[in-house]
Amino acid sequence: MSLSINYHGFFDGNFGIAEATRLNAMAMEKAGIKVNRINYSSDTLEKIKSETKQESSINIFHINSNVTHEFFSKNQDIKLAGHYNIVYWAWEFPEVSDKTVEFLNIFDELWVPSDFCVNIFTKYTGIPVMRFSHPIEKLTTSDEFDCNEYNIKPNSKVFVTIFDSLSTTIRKNPEATIESFIKVFKNDPESVLIVKTHNLERSKDAQKALEKYAAIPNIIMINEHFSKEKLHSLIQKSDVLISLHGSEGFGLTMAEAMSYGKIVVGTGYSGNLDFMNVNNSFLVQYDFIKTSNTKGLIAEGLTLARPNIDDAAEKLQYIKDHFTGLNTIKSNAEKQIRENFSIESIGDLFKIRLSFIHNFDKKETSANSVDNVFHLAEIDRLNGRVNYLEKTLYNKIRKKVNIFLKKMKGKKKL
């Protein structure tokens, strides 16, 4: 049996979902599945190229849920009829919009990277929701990241937090990580915190969150696009990775750090609980908050965890006091990823499910009308255009009214 799939995604992107797409494709190919990589621009969502491999009757769309409508509006030549259509989404909130659910139910199947996501989506849809964790690729030890280049002294204990500034500051929550580090290590010249981000220049919220820490000597801010090799080299040369996030669909960077046997401190909530536990990492206590004043970056009123900074500081203090006695935790971390999240193990799971799907009669099993995908996508695009025009028209009218009122006020003074 020759098993093949059409994999639609952002294969050239330098961000989390693109790396997850590449890893999934790599795992499938390792398991003997032929993967037709259909590559799209993450900026325009338009097709860049398609590899010339055997066309498959199985489509996988690894596209962010918030751009899926626009994606299909711009790519109406995609063949959906007579195909088994799978969408792969990571999601970080218990709430899912009605529009997202309506679109989701058109597909034959949903794949997600964690039990956290499974538990969310099974409340909203009747289609199969399958967990396929991101496989973790462990790279050869490298000197791609040069500590001297960033003025990191030899023998320093290196703590690191890694995030994309465009992933919304309220969710990635770098301030909590920095504040907990300061509580324990502010006057410790032998310990440094590397705050590794990129796209900082494109996020005023992230700039505001980080600028007040710029003068602290043992906090090093790095705003650069690293290659995968350089990012993994940074992780390899670190001692502790910290992620006091509000929520993660999976938590790829935490899993990558654990694959190298690093100490990981993370919020005890969301997708990272698939691989983090009290025996292989440090889980930070939290309570819940609702998103507000998000400036349109994400919806209002979504649920996020708020990690307890005092609890995080206590765990960092414990790590500081027992630094040489944490080998069991490090070993357990490495073992967890190696045995359960390797390229080979996840690839085998993909093959089992895709082999099962391959034997379906696509015409009989695809009960949902695939034409509705493009119909809903076009409606969403037009609604967005109408909202934009209404907003623009409103602003023009308001400006004219303000000018008129100022003139009237001036006449009264005369």
User: What pLDDT is stored for residue 166 in this prediction?
Assistant: 87
Of 120, 21, 8, 10, nearest to 56 by C-alpha is: 8
User: What pLDDT is stored for residue 366 in this prediction?
Assistant: 47
Structural domain includes residue 363:
yes
Same domain as 188, residue 67: no
Same domain as 154, residue 258: yes
Contact call for residues 260 and 281 (beta carbons, < 8 A) = no
Q: What is the CATH number of the domain that holds 205?
A: 3.40.50.2000
| Token representation of residue 20 | 């997850």
User: Distance between CA atoms of 92 and 300, rounded to whole angstroms?
Assistant: 14
Q: Alpha helix locations (H) across 80-224?
A: 98-104, 115-121, 169-172, 174-185, 204-211
Of 174, 192, 164, nearest to 252 by C-alpha is: 164
Residue type, 307: P
Same domain as 236, residue 174: yes
Structural domain includes residue 98:
yes
Same domain as 293, residue 166: yes
User: Distance between CA atoms of 172 and 347, rounded to whole angstroms?
Assistant: 29
Same domain as 185, residue 99: no
Same domain as 161, residue 18: no
| Token representation of residue 321 | 């006091």
User: What pLDDT is stored for residue 14 in this prediction?
Assistant: 86
Number of domains, the chain: 2
Give the SS3 label for residue 341: coil
CB under 8 Å to 282, separation ≥6 — which residues? 263, 264, 265, 266, 315, 318, 319
User: Distance between CA atoms of 83 and 24, rounded to whole angstroms?
Assistant: 20
**DSSP 8-state assignment for residue 306:** E
User: Distance between CA atoms of 21 and 19, rounded to whole angstroms?
Assistant: 5
CB under 8 Å to 184, separation ≥6 — which residues? 313, 316, 317, 320
User: What pLDDT is stored for residue 180 in this prediction?
Assistant: 98
pLDDT tens digits for 79-118? 998 899 999 999 999 999 999 999 899 999 999 999 999 9
Structural domain includes residue 409:
no
Same domain as 349, residue 242: no
Same domain as 56, residue 28: yes
Per-residue pLDDT of the chain (414 residues; tens, 9 = 90+): 589 999 999 999 888 899 999 999 999 999 999 999 999 999 999 999 766 555 799 999 999 888 988 999 999 999 998 899 999 999 999 999 999 999 899 999 999 999 999 999 999 999 999 999 999 999 999 999 999 999 999 999 999 999 999 888 999 999 999 999 999 999 899 999 999 999 999 999 899 999 999 999 999 999 999 999 999 999 999 999 999 999 999 999 999 999 999 999 999 999 999 999 999 999 999 999 999 877 767 889 999 999 999 999 999 999 999 999 999 999 999 999 999 999 999 999 999 999 999 987 554 444 455 556 665 555 556 555 556 555 565 565 666 666 655 655 555 555
Same domain as 127, residue 24: yes
Contact call for residues 127 and 108 (beta carbons, < 8 A) = yes
User: Distance between CA atoms of 377 and 72, rounded to whole angstroms?
Assistant: 6
Domain limits for position 200: 147-341
Return phi, psi of residue 178, to 5°.
-65, -45
User: What pLDDT is stored for residue 365 in this prediction?
Assistant: 47
Same domain as 159, residue 299: yes
User: Distance between CA atoms of 127 and 196, rounded to whole angstroms?
Assistant: 39
Rounded to two decimals, the pTM is: 0.87
Structural domain includes residue 389:
no
Contact call for residues 170 and 197 (beta carbons, < 8 A) = no
Same domain as 353, residue 333: no
Of 182, 160, 163, nearest to 172 by C-alpha is: 163
What is the length of the chain? 414
Return phi, psi of residue 87, to 5°.
-115, 135
Structural domain includes residue 9:
yes
Calculate helix-pair angle for 327-340, 252-259, nearest 10 degrees: 110
Same domain as 180, residue 49: no
